[in-house]
Amino acid sequence: MTEENRVSASEVIFHYFKEKIKSGELKPGDPIPSERTLQKQLGVSRFSLREGLARLNAIGAIDTHHGKTTRVSQRVNMDSLKNVFLPLQANLHTQSRSDLYEARVVLEVELAGLAARRRNDEDIAGLKENLREAENSLDYSEQFGALDLDFHERIAVAAKNIFFRQMHAVIRDQLESVMRLHANAKEQRQVILKKHSDLFTAIEAGNAAEARQLARDHLGVFKTHYN
């Protein structure tokens, strides 16, 4: 599957479930089928499926808990599904990319600090799993890029601030294209994995100051990709 088709598949999954929730076919508290079942039903890759579900999780439409069944959120806001967090224009010009970098620094540095203070066992387990999968995907740019995005989304969840989490969801589409660029070369993927590992260590240890600094340093490594 090409990069373009993979992104299109994740969009299809997002809108498929969004419409089922809006129509009432899937109600608050209803379980979402397993990943394996959804892959067979929708004919999509594991990574496209995860990206689509991650977007729904980010806007609060579904609740995903490590090791448990994913369900439609009891707090799902139908108005937000209709009007909020629509994809921004995919093709960013130079100034927009620069703006995106500045937004990431402001948002993700603070998310890292909050995650270090508020993370729970479930958050730590999810981040560990992400790092294991990323290490096993170092030879595969597409998979690694998806896991890169997933790592940052997990930090947003661990920060336990619904507004910051939703703000992160707003820029998700732009992050996806930038992270694919980050993951182009294996040398870059190795750098990212090391940065993620260091950041995870600080979050696991509850060191908010170090987590913020490491997040800032991590973003700075690839600053030229936003020019």
Distance CA(145)–CA(47), nearest Å, equals 10
Whether residue 154 contacts residue 122, with contact meaning beta carbons closer than 8 Å, is answered with: no
Residue type, 39: Q
Distance CA(23)–CA(194), nearest Å, equals 44
DSSP-based three-state secondary structure for 51: helix
What pLDDT, on a 0 to 100 scale, did the predictor assign at position 199? 98
100: phi then psi, degrees, rounded to nearest 5: -60, -45
What pLDDT, on a 0 to 100 scale, did the predictor assign at position 15? 74
Distance CA(128)–CA(178), nearest Å, equals 23
Closest alpha carbon to 196 in 183, 184, 185: 183
Please write the tens of the pLDDT for every residue from 79-136. Answer: 454 444 444 444 445 557 788 889 899 999 999 999 999 999 999 999 999 999 999 9
pLDDT interval class at 10 (50, 70, 90): low
Distance CA(33)–CA(41), nearest Å, equals 10
DSSP-based three-state secondary structure for 27: coil
What is the chain's length? 227
pLDDT at 190 over 90: yes
Please write the tens of the pLDDT for every residue from 138-169. Answer: 999 888 988 998 999 999 999 999 889 888 88
pLDDT interval class at 17 (50, 70, 90): confident
Domains and CATH numbers, the chain: 3-83 (1.10.10.10), 94-226 (1.20.120.530)
Please write the tens of the pLDDT for every residue from 165-188. Answer: 888 887 877 787 778 777 888 888
What pLDDT, on a 0 to 100 scale, did the predictor assign at position 177? 74
DSSP 55-119: HHHHTTSEE--TTS--EE-TT--HHHHHHSSPPPPSS--HHHHHHHHHHHHHHHHHHHHHHHHH-
β-strands 62-63, 71-72: how paired? antiparallel
What pLDDT, on a 0 to 100 scale, did the predictor assign at position 72? 86
Distance CA(91)–CA(109), nearest Å, equals 25
Please write the tens of the pLDDT for every residue from 31-82. Answer: 988 888 888 888 888 877 887 787 777 777 788 776 678 888 877 655 454 4
62: phi then psi, degrees, rounded to nearest 5: -130, 160
What is the separation, in whole angstroms, between the first and last Cα of the chain? 28
pLDDT interval class at 1 (50, 70, 90): very low
Distance CA(168)–CA(85), nearest Å, equals 10
Mean pLDDT (the chain) is: 82
What pLDDT, on a 0 to 100 scale, did the predictor assign at position 225? 63
Helix (H) or strand (E) segment spanning residue 224: none
pLDDT at 6 over 50: no
Partners of 62 in the beta sheet?
72
pLDDT at 223 over 90: no
Distance CA(59)–CA(198), nearest Å, equals 28
pLDDT at 5 over 70: no
